[in-house]
């Protein structure tokens, strides 16, 4: 098949670099356009990331010679892209929101990692295994804005993706969850590069990440919600209380979760069976970035661990362990996801694959 031409906004940052790495040799997508701030524009991609490339693999040959463009030059992007991944951030979120809307208005679909549009009423916040039907709002979004070809789809914050799929699997199987108490242990790569200063992190844990607890508590309610009267209505449950901590780990967000069911409490063996058998639309469609088994369970008493489990299923699976009864709620467990793959660029690629398969990106 002829590959879709892909642009990456914020291509020099950590998330942008992961897009470049993961899209190398992708069967459907080819990176044809890279953009960043005006300060980074005007040189080759290879020259722009000298001393800043953080991936374990080399810069792909096809990308090295691409000229970095100013992210504000939307007219040039129109000539080279069928759609774009938005991986750039600014201190003023309204500027990111405005820029993404300008791309969509220009007829360019935007698959975003940024937080600016996550709670926009008619923008779906997508995890394809959980809420693929939320893309049904795209025609409404386009009608609301007068957009013909362009639209915006976002992915959620990386902090919640280690636990929301196992929770959703239980709800889907008929065991809705009422309350969750969660403590996240989040890798330093979640802060980008250069990120958290080494003197803050080496031999240390920082029990505060700006905005993370609010995102962890609120974003799942939109993901688990429904479309009503042309906009998203948040779910009432589960109620979530979160502690978010930065830990001296490079990649891999770990969550310690305690949950209480709204009704009948399933047996432990039933939960394990539900997780093992859970499959969803990305697996049915055999999307290239989709994990074959979205939820993996480790029986060892000391797993999952970031270094040993984060890369399973191309870095796209959630690895769960230590399921046991809780003396306050019903059960507790530990869950791990790769924050810069599943939680960032890989999740964005999976979203784009779903949009292609459903005919929204053409």
Residues ≥6 apart with Cβ < 8 Å to 183: 242, 243, 244, 245, 255, 256
At residue 298 the predicted structure's pLDDT band, cuts being 50, 70 and 90, is: very high
Query: 143: Cβ–Cβ under 8 A, 6 or more apart, which residues?
Result: none
Residue 312: both structure tokens together: 């399973």
The pLDDT value recorded for residue 14 is: 94
CA neighbor of 290 nearest in space, from 170, 137, 132, 123: 132
| Cα distance between residue 175 and residue 163, in whole Å | 15
Q: What whole-number percentage of the chain has pLDDT above 70? A: 100
Q: How confident is the model at residue 311, as a pLDDT?
A: 98
* Superfamily designation of domain 159-338: Dihydrodipicolinate Reductase; domain 2 (3.30.360.10)
Q: What is the pLDDT of residues 226-237, one digit of tens each?
A: 999 999 999 999
Q: Locate tokens 């003023």: which residue? A: 92
Residue 91 confidence (pLDDT) above 90: no
Mean pLDDT of 289-318: 98
Quick one: average pLDDT of 288-302?
98
Q: Could you tell me the CATH superfamily of domain 4-157+344-357?
A: NAD(P)-binding Rossmann-like Domain (3.40.50.720)
Q: What is the mean pLDDT of residues 59-88?
A: 95
Domain borders along the chain are 4-157+344-357, 159-338
Q: How far apart are CA 290 and CA 346, in angstroms?
A: 9
Region 306-316: mean pLDDT is 98
Q: For residue 255, give both structure tokens.
A: 């969550």
Tokens 């046991």, located at residue: 324
Contact 15, 87 (CB under 8 A): yes
* Count of CA atoms in the C-beta half-sphere (13 A) of 70: 6
| pLDDT (tens digit per residue) in 122-157 | 999 999 999 999 999 999 999 999 999 999 999 999
φ/ψ of 237, rounded to 5, equals -125, 155
Q: How far apart are CA 246 and CA 191, in angstroms?
A: 9
Tell me what the pLDDT averaged over the chain comes to: 96
Beta-carbon contacts of residue 346 (< 8 Å; ≥ 6 apart) = 18, 22, 289, 314, 315, 316, 338
User: The pTM is what?
Assistant: 0.97
Q: Which residues are catalytic?
A: 158, 253
Q: What is the pLDDT of residue 92?
A: 85
pLDDT (tens digit per residue) in 164-177: 999 999 999 999 99
> 108-112, 171-175, 190-194 — which is least confidently predicted?
190-194
Q: Mind giving me the DSSP string for 102-130?
A: HHHHTT--EEE--STTTT-TT--B--TTT
Q: What is the pLDDT of residue 90?
A: 81
pLDDT of residue 68: 97
Confidence bin at 188 (pLDDT 50/70/90): very high
Q: Average pLDDT, stretch 173-200?
A: 96
24 SS3 class: coil
Query: Tokens 């890989």 label which residue?
Result: 346
User: What integer pLDDT is reported at residue 89 of this predicted model?
Assistant: 82
pLDDT at 93 over 90: no
């Amino acid at each position: 098949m002829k590959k879709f031409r892909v642009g990456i906004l914020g291509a020099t940052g950590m998330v942008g670099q992961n897009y470049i790495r993961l899209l190398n040799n992708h069967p459907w997508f080819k990176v044809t356009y890279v953009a960043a701030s005006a300060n980074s524009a005007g040189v080759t991609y290879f020259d722009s990331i000298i001393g800043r490339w953080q991936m374990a693999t080399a810069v792909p040959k096809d990308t090295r010679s691409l000229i970095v463009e100013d992210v504000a030059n939307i007219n040039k992007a129109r000539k080279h892209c069928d759609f774009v991944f938005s991986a750039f951030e600014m201190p003023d979120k309204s500027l990111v929101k405005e820029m993404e809307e300008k791309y969509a208005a220009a007829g360019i679909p935007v698959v975003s990692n940024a937080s600016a549009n996550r709670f926009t009423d008619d923008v779906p916040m997508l995890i394809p295994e959980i809420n693929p039907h939320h893309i049904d709002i795209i025609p409404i979004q386009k009608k609301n804005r007068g957009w013909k070809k362009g639209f915006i789809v976002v992915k959620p914050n990386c902090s919640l993706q280690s636990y929301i799929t196992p929770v959703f699997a239980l709800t889907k199987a008929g065991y809705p969850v009422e309350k969750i108490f969660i403590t996240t242990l989040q890798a330093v790569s979640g802060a980008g590069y250069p990120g958290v200063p080494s003197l803050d992190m080496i031999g240390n844990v920082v029990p505060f990440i700006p905005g993370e607890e609010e995102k962890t508590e609120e974003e799942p309610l939109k993901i688990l919600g429904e479309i009503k009267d042309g906009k998203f209505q948040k779910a009432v449950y589960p109620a979530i209380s979160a502690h978010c901590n930065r830990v001296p780990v490079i990649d891999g967000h770990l969550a310690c979760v305690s949950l209480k069911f709204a009704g009948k409490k399933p047996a432990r063996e039933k939960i394990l069976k539900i997780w093992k058998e859970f499959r969803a639309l990305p697996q049915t469609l055999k999307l290239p970035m989709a994990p074959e088994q979205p939820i993996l369970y480790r029986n060892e008493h000391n797993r999952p661990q970031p270094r040993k489990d984060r890369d399973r299923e191309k870095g796209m699976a959630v690895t769960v362990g230590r399921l046991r009864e809780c003396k306050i709620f019903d059960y507790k467990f530990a869950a791990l996801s790769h924050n810069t793959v599943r939680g960032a660029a890989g999740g964005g690629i999976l979203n784009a694959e779903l949009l292609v398969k459903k005919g929204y990106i053409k």
